[in-house]
Amino acid sequence: MSVIAEISIPAADFELGRVMELTPPATAELESFVPAGGRAVPYFWVYNADFASFEECVLREPAVEAIEVVDSYDDRMLYTVDWGAENDSVFRTIRNVDAYVLNATGSSDTWQFELRFPSRDAMSVFQDQCQECDISFEVHRVYNPSEPGQGPWFGLTDRQREALVLAVERGYYDIPRTCTTVELAEELGISDQAVTERLRRAINTLTNNTLLTS
């Protein structure tokens, strides 16, 4: 049975954390890996950054060949980074144990990962290999997505469930929509950006813990 682990890793302990040099209050989120030329090229959202300075810092890293803006908004940009994930000890270890990155978000000092492992044994191997590579990490939560004792919300946090339920009740997913993320943000007391990210993560978690479970 697969297991999902929520862990945090110091940014200085692995290559991606060092490559993505983030100055507070900037944050980054892994969007996806796209195959390109025999390697996996990551796409990242970067929020609340001095984007010109961020791009210069990333390009100074020897492991990075190129960085390109794919999309942009007032407070965020979507980048593709030509960087060899296969040389990063964390991502190499994730691949070695056939794990899958459900979510990865980073700040100047820490990255938070949500990883799906094919088994608890695979997760143990991941932990052992991280220790061999001198990668420190903290495990915040481990659960079986289809385990009855995990409660009725399929891995959703209380905040994710609150946002998703409110969005459905207010008609955000209706056609045509009868509310906006700005209106949801006002009710929840958070920013428009935070609502968008909370809904995206909620849907991702709900899908992985229901439709994609064996």
pLDDT in tens, 76-120: 898 999 887 677 889 889 989 999 888 889 999 999 998 989 999
Q: Give CA angle at 8 (43, 210), nearest 5°.
A: 70
Between residues 1 and 132, the one the model is more confident about? 132
| Bridge partners for 77 per DSSP | 46, 72
H or E element, residue 48: none
Residue 178 has pLDDT above 90, yes or no: yes
Q: In what order do the strands lie in the sheet with 3-10?
A: 64-72, 76-83, 39-47, 27-36, 100-106, 110-117, 3-10, 138-143
* Integer Cα distance of 74 and 94 in angstroms: 33
* Integer Cα distance of 178 and 194 in angstroms: 19
Q: What is the pLDDT of residue 107?
A: 92
H or E element, residue 12: none
Q: What is the pLDDT of residue 149?
A: 44
Residue 48 has pLDDT above 50, yes or no: yes
As given in the structure block, the two tokens for residue 59 are 């390009």
The pTM is what?
0.70
Mean pLDDT of the chain: 86
Q: Measured between alpha carbons, how far is residue 39 from residues 7, 33, 66, 123 in Å?
A: 25, 9, 14, 24
